Amino acid sequence: RREGRRPTVPLPGIAQSGSAGEIPGDARTASSILRSREGHRRDEQVLRECLARLVRQWLERKEFERLKCIELLFVRGWANQAVARRLGLSEQAVANHKHFVLSKLKEAARRARLRDPDLTAWGLTNR
């Protein structure tokens, strides 16, 4: 067919050399979805173990302020300012606790070679 009348439109996710790439969306194969879920579970496990290690350390050292702060930030989703008011801390102290935990999680993610070492997909960012 002539190229000028109806030019070929490349489809996203499909290789141009004729071999099919991974098709985005619902058309993905079952094996790619399963691999994705397995990877997600592995990522969760790495982050869970890192947090458990931090919590154990804080309990052993009786660092309850840090533990309360992190619970309010990450579990309850409070803003730094609200946590600071509730615990009687400065906003900078809350930000320091948050930064410490995020840096430890990111370090664990990099060591384990997670797919998202910056943790953006997990919503764990400095807000």
Separation CA 34–CA 3 (nearest Å) = 40
Residues of the chain with pLDDT under 70: 1-36, 116-118, 120-127
User: What is the reported pTM?
Assistant: 0.64
Residue ranges of domains in the chain: 29-114
Q: Which pLDDT value is given to residue 19? A: 45
68, 69, 90, 99 from 58: Cα distances, Å: 10, 12, 20, 16
Q: What is the pLDDT of residues 48-78, one digit of tens each?
A: 898 899 999 999 999 999 999 999 998 898 9
Helix, strand, or coil here: 21?
A: coil
CATH of 29-114, one of 3.40.50.1820, 3.40.50.300, 1.10.150.120, 1.10.10.10: 1.10.10.10
Q: How many Å is the Cα radius of gyration of the chain?
A: 22
